[in-house]
Amino acid sequence: MTPEEVLNYLWNGLLTLVIGVTGWFVRDTITQHRRLREDHNAHKIEVAKEYATKEELIRVENGLKETLNRLEDKIDKLLEGKR
């Protein structure tokens, strides 16, 4: 074997190793990104199941205010009747 052939084999081996490690790193990164995206989507679904939206909270708050105002009016009428 000539020195040029040995040098070519070394370069080919080194390039193969570098490309292989780079490919493994890229594949692993893509896999982790997909897993993270799936976990994030699952989390969004769980949050939507457990928590209310702003509009729902406003609707409930308005209903409570109306009920409390009616109770306040009834209490005021009772207190006026006793005087």
Tell the residue number behind the tokens 């609707």, with chain if given. Answer: 59
Q: What is the pLDDT of residue 81?
A: 82
Whether residue 26 sits in one domain with residue 1: yes
pTM: 0.53
Share of the chain above pLDDT 70, in %: 99
Which domain range does residue 67 map to? Answer: 52-83
Q: Are residues 34 and 23 in the same domain?
A: yes
Number of domains in the chain: 2
What is the DSSP code string of the chain? --HHHHHHHHHHHHHHHHHHHHHHHHHHHHHHHHHHHHHHHHHHHHHHHHS--HHHHHHHHHHHHHHHHHHHHHHHHHHHHH-
Same domain, yes or no: 32 and 71: no
pLDDT in tens, 17-36: 999 999 999 999 999 999 99
For residue 37, name the pLDDT band (cuts at 50, 70, 90): very high
Whole-angstrom distance, CA of residue 11 vs CA of residue 7: 6
Asked if residue 53 has pLDDT above 90, the reply is no
